[in-house]
Chain A
Amino acid sequence: MNLQATTGAVRQRLGGWSPRHELIGLVGVVERNLYLVKRYVWWEIAFFIWTVANTLTIVFIARGIEATGGTIDVNRAAASLLIGAVIWAYLGIIFEILTETVAWERWEGTIEYTFMAPLSRPVHLFGMGAFALLYGMVRAVLLFSLCLFFFDLSIPGADFAAALVVLAVASVSFVGLGIMTAVLPLISPEKGSQLGFIAQGLLLVVSGVYYPVDVLPGWMQAIAVVSPATYALDGIRDAILEGEPLGAMGDEIWPLAVIGLVAIPLGLAVFRRGERYAKQHGKLKRSG
């Protein structure tokens, strides 16, 4: 055995580690998820059809109100509901993918290999977040375009670029919240994933996804103030329905930036604590 060569290998491995390696690792996380999308492509299509059906159902509510005697601006109400449904689907995808960080890997049995890889946890989680944003954005654009076409909605003067910027800023907070929910399957292998849906449901109620936040009781409105989805929906609706430019969206962008700045470190801290708990109690592997 060439001990000198071993020493050389050890030195090289320890000395050669760099942010570049972390970046390559992050690409690896995205690459792995792309492989999974490719391998489960028919399921992806099936889930997308389900999302389209779900969104159409919600947008039809606008037409239903008119049909049952209500007087509303159907085009505007439908567009507003469509925005709510698309952002909700986008948020759902981010939560789902980040929660799968642990849940799917535990099911496949790969979680220990991922957690012992020389990839820092923040980079690992940001990789999952990056894929979730990429995948969620493609899905959201497709979903919005399809429904727009289906209902023949007219949105003159919409500022889609501003809407996308608001969504991008909001996504930072969404990833932070997603990282917090991702730790739940580590703590409870059986029910952890479902607890993620509870967090999602709470955001749905208070953030004005399908109705203005003003209709909520005061205490719920107070919770809505700290929900990034509230500002995301406000900003995106203003950009698409009113054609408001980005410069006029300080009231949405600043709170989103602040929530994002808090949510990411908080999410990482929560995950770190959950990982430590799992490693202390042998919960990383399901049977251990």
Chain B
Amino acid sequence: MSSSLSSIPSPDGPFEDVPALDVADLRKVFRRGARTGGRFSARRQVAALDGVSFTVQRGETVAVLGQNGSGKSTLVRVLSTLLLPDGGSASVFGHDVLGEAAAVRRLVNRVSVEASFFKRMSASENLSYAARFHGLTAGQTRDSIPDILQRVGFPRDRRSEPMENLSRGMQQKVALARALLTAPVLLLLDEPTTGLDPRSKREVQAFIREMRATHDATILLCTHDLAEAEVLADRVGVLDRGRLLVLDRVTELNRRYGADTLEDAFFAATGREFAEETDPDDDREVFA
């Protein structure tokens, strides 16, 4: 990472001047076996992130738009300390994701497209152990888990039911509850509504809006849902083949590209229709 550790403020340092998220020239390359080659064929390099730079201010909600395989999830994984970048730097409230991973993990939580849970365990059990991982005692979660499940509209009589019996929408609400339970300062939302039915989608989006209004968090939303990005975010970025092409307010994006809609602006930025499939020879989706 290019960032110098000495430049990172300590918890007692000048925190007010530090952006919530500072990403500079972030790069990640994956090596994969050649599509046509045999066992000993040369491995190809695929740039999942190619010099991505942006800053998110405290309290801001920024959406990153991109198609499958554009690098959105790779970006979220690097910021979550789950992937090591190959170059550049990323810091959360001044803490480098590589050099100070432990500090970053205390500040970040994530909701991904898959509501990942121990499926035989109940919502309460899954939230309970997750809370312990974040240092919350049984005494602290005795009331907060039922409260938070109620806030996301989770039915009281299903709290002890195994997660495998719940619908996708219901599971995603529990995923949001899990993230909120740990009061993250930076919340990473990676396609949180993908695959949900319209009603569940609307409920989850309403809850994200409520979180924004009531919970003091900065949000990075990665999505391929244009309407969702437009409704929820202060600024919208376009990530295409690992490169962040633009990041601005929707009105500015539309003005810059002379577009009437965000979809038109996206098309102008990437040179492709939003719904258009990625290059059939492109296997970036494995990194999504």
Q: Which A residues lie at the B interface, using CB under 8 A? A: 1-3, 5-7, 9-11, 13-17, 20-22, 24-25, 27-29, 31-32, 35-36, 39-40, 108-110, 112-120, 276, 279-282, 284-285, 287-288
Q: Are A116 and B84 in contact (CB under 8 A)?
A: no
In the complex, whether B54 has a CB less than 8 A from a CB of chain A is no
Check B134–A288 contact: CB distance below 8 A.
no
Interface residues, chain B, with chain A CB atoms under 8 Å away: 11-12, 15-16, 30-31, 58-59, 73-74, 77, 80-84, 93, 102-103, 105-108, 110, 112, 114, 116-121, 125, 128-137, 162, 178, 183, 185, 216-218, 286-287
- Chain B residues, CB < 8 A from A113: 110, 116, 130, 178
Q: Is the CB of A39 within 8 A of B121?
A: yes
In the assembled complex, the Cα of A12 lies from the Cα of B128 at a distance in Å of 22
Query: With A6-B59, A112-B82 given, can you name 11 additional A-B contacts, CB distance below 8 Å?
Result: A6-B216, A9-B183, A11-B12, A11-B15, A14-B11, A25-B132, A25-B134, A29-B133, A35-B129, A282-B74, A288-B83
Q: Could you say which residues of chain B place their CB within 8 Å of the CB of A29? A: 129, 132-133
For the complex formed, measure the closest distance between the CB of A124 and the CB atoms of chain B, giving whole angstroms: 8
A110-B116, A279-B83, A282-B30 are contacts. A288–B59 as well, Cβ < 8 Å? Answer: no
Distance between Cα atoms of A280 and B119 in the complex (Å)? 28
> Which residues of chain B come closer than 8 Å to A118, judged between CB atoms?
102, 105-106, 133-135
User: Chain B nearest CB: distance from A83 CB in Å?
Assistant: 35
In the assembled complex, the Cα of A115 lies from the Cα of B81 at a distance in Å of: 8
B77 to chain A, nearest CB (A): 7
Are A110 and B135 in contact, CB atoms less than 8 angstroms apart? no
Expressed in whole angstroms, the Cα–Cα distance for A108 and B118 within the complex equals 6
Shortest beta-carbon distance, A57 to chain B, in Å?
A: 31
| B58 interface neighbour in A6, A35, A282, Cβ under 8 Å | A6
Say yes or no: A108-B116 contact (C-beta < 8 A), given A31-B128, A117-B105: yes
Alpha-carbon gap, A39 to B163, bound state (A): 12
Q: Which of B81, B105, B132 contacts A31 (CB 8 A)?
A: B132
If A10-B185, A288-B77 touch, whether A32 touches B59 (CB-CB below 8 Å) is no
* Closest residue of A by beta carbon distance from B109: A116
Q: Could you show 24 A-B contacts with beta carbons less than 8 Å apart?
A: A1-B59, A6-B218, A10-B15, A10-B107, A11-B15, A15-B12, A21-B134, A22-B135, A24-B137, A28-B129, A29-B133, A32-B118, A32-B129, A36-B118, A40-B120, A110-B116, A112-B116, A113-B130, A113-B178, A114-B133, A116-B105, A118-B105, A282-B30, A288-B77
